[in-house]
Amino acid sequence: MNNLNTISIDLAKNVFQVGVFSPQHKMQSNQQLSRQKLAPFMAKQEKAIVVMEACYSSHHWARLFDGMGHIVRLIPAQHVKPFVRGNKNDRNDSIAIAEASWRPNIKFVPLKSVEQQDIQALHRIRDKLIARRTSIINQIRGLLSEYGVIIPQGLKSFTLHITALIDPKDERISLRMKHQLRDTKEEYNQLSKRCQSIENEIKQYVQQNPYAND
């Protein structure tokens, strides 16, 4: 057993539950702190093992506390749940986080750097953009099928057919629908351009960091 306190933090948007435990795992305090007071409180603590659930904002706080000299460990949420005793509330959650961290064989989540966090965010943004683009394609393909216009699967095929349909010389759809398709094509092109830009940035990062996918 080490000689460091354990500080468990149940993260939230505005009010955090902070438990302080001795090296012998005796609870010394378990209090609520506002967002504004959390960092100053942690800065005053002697070097400790800080444990939190891995969730939104956890890497931000982990980097902050790591910079203060604390040893930070992030625990997957599913490993904390079995240790919650009694009613689920912030106080009991804080205790459960601490108890989970003391168990052997717990695999902690590696702390992400700001750069790694950026790349993860890019992946999520790209996925959302692709989902929006796919939704547009599916909707237009469905609408056009009611006019007897069938567009084969594939991005290239979609682009070619929409370009042809908005041509004034093409009489398969009305002028009203051509206007809608023109706006839709512009939206589709913007989404595709953003997706490609993000993909290029991710590819550049991987090339510069050969172990990024390890």
> Which tens digits make up the pLDDT trace of 93-112?
999 999 999 998 889 999 99
Give the separation between CA 19 and CA 147, rounded to whole angstroms: 65
Give the separation between CA 41 and CA 164, rounded to whole angstroms: 64
Give the separation between CA 13 and CA 20, rounded to whole angstroms: 20
How confident is the model over 64-84, as a mean pLDDT?
A: 93
Residue 91's pLDDT is: 86
- 60 phi, psi to nearest 5 deg: -60, -50
Place of tokens 């590819």: 203
- CA atoms within 13 Å, Cβ hemisphere of 29: 11
Whether the pLDDT of residue 213 is over 70: the answer is no
Give the separation between CA 107 and CA 158, rounded to whole angstroms: 46
Residue 1's pLDDT is: 54
pLDDT-based confidence at residue 28 (cuts at 50, 70, 90): very high
Give the containing element (helix H, strand E) for 9.
Answer: strand 6-10
What tens digit of pLDDT does each residue of 132-175 get?
Answer: 999 999 999 999 999 999 999 999 999 999 999 999 999 999 99
Residue type, 10: D
pTM: 0.75
- Distance, CA of 119 to chain centre: 10
Residue 62's pLDDT is: 96
C-beta neighbour count of 99 within 10 angstroms: 19
- Distance, CA of 80 to chain centre: 20
Give the separation between CA 9 and CA 50, rounded to whole angstroms: 7
